Amino acid sequence: MKSNSEQLAILRDNIQFGLYQGKETKASLSRKTGITRSTIYKILDGKVERVQAATVEKIADFFGTTCYIIQNESLESHYMESQYIGSPLSSIDGNKNPIAVPILTEHEFVLKGDHFISEMVTDYPLTYHFSQSKNVVAIQIGSSLSRYYTRGNLLIVDRSNRHVEHSSKLIVRDSHLCSISSEEPLELKDYFFGSILEERYCV
């Protein structure tokens, strides 16, 4: 998982590339997303320390991508790759639908980590995530995961059995929730819960 400063730098680069590639302007980005021009200028000028999750979602939706990609990967690289397979990078109308994501505490997540999403969406607060996956939950970062992430933020986790490439793994090791890198192998007694898609800042 990249640091906050790294994510901000990637976000700035992606906004600039997306505007250039889509023949858009800062004014049109503001008008179509509802984000104030001053906020957009502050982000691009490096004058903010954090960007609200709702703002990141609007920017990602505008460029037809995900919050994870807009903060962690290069849109330009995705665009160059797409030229080889004959498909566009994205549409400003978006190419993914928002899915309802239940928000659980660390304790609730460990207790109900194997429950169906449909069972949890009526019992817990919800957030949304632009994704093609249908097995995504959010965890409010508490004492266990605060060793790796900012306490109080949300981790968006894909609980599919498959591991999402380049994403940190969420596991239980020695009775504690842990985050390990995508390259680190699981130990014999580890329990794999899912892949961490993003850390969503709650500010």
pLDDT one-digit tens code per residue, 136-158: 899 999 999 999 999 999 999 98
The residue among 145, 151, 139, 138 whose CA lies nearest residue 176 is 145
Beta bridge partners of 129: 99
Report the amino acid identity of residue 105.
T
The number of helices, as runs of H, and strands, as runs of E, in the chain is 8, 7
pLDDT one-digit tens code per residue, 74-94: 888 776 655 544 444 444 334
Report the amino acid identity of residue 170.
L
Q: Which two tokens stand for residue 33?
A: 């997303």
Choose between 112 and 153: higher pLDDT: 153
Whether residue 177 is predicted with pLDDT greater than 70 in this model: the reply is yes
Q: Which residues contact 2 (CB under 8 A, 6 or more apart)?
A: 10, 71, 72
Q: Which residues contact 67 (CB under 8 A, 6 or more apart)?
A: 53, 56, 57, 60, 129, 130, 156, 198, 200
Q: Which two tokens stand for residue 130?
A: 């632009």
Whether residue 105 is predicted with pLDDT greater than 90 in this model: the reply is yes
